[in-house]
Amino acid sequence: MNVNLIIPRLWIGDVRSSEDSEFMKENKINVIVNCSKNFRNVFEPFVIEPIDKEILEKHFIKYYRVACDDNGRDEEIDNFLHGTKEIIDNVLQDYKNGKNILVHCAAGQQRSCSFAVCLMNRLGFTKMQPIMRYCERENVHLVLEMKFISRGG
């Protein structure tokens, strides 16, 4: 499992981290951003009766999805940008409301880092030291993440 705390309450991880119930409990993960087309949302509730919104928010993990692959094709970069634009305000609000957030993709190195950079920018980080330290520590080349965010303006 590859998962790292980038800033307080924001983790970047691989798909295994998104499936680890002990990690979810220990870190009180409330929100998961799934940056993939196909990885399933393991802890997404399956309910047959309507549930009160307050109960749902208090006891279940909220999921968002940015449906894209990391093959570097223009179409997938567009999918990343479009998906990020659709959910970033909601994830930002969740963070501001004190939620603990895991952003994951397959390896926790490209799509998830790119989304975290976008979120941190919206949070007012003008310097990206936390994400750059993570990339350096995990031997992730920042240029790989930049392929997803460079076209976003």
Tell me the fold of 3-152.
Answer: Protein-Tyrosine Phosphatase; Chain A (3.90.190)
CA–CA separation, 62 and 107 (whole Å): 21
CA–CA separation, 97 and 69 (whole Å): 30
Beta strand 10-13 with 101-104 is: parallel
Question: What pLDDT, on a 0 to 100 scale, did the predictor assign at position 83?
Answer: 95
- Window from 6-10, 31-35, 66-70, 109-113 with minimum mean pLDDT: 109-113
Question: What mean pLDDT do residues 89-105 have?
Answer: 97
Residue 20 confidence (pLDDT) above 60:
yes
* pTM exceeds 0.85 for this model: no
Indicate the SS3 state at residue 75. Answer: helix
Considering 16-25, 36-45, 103-112, 139-148, the range whose residues carry the highest mean pLDDT is: 16-25
Higher-scoring residue by pLDDT: 147, 70: 70
CA–CA separation, 18 and 20 (whole Å): 6
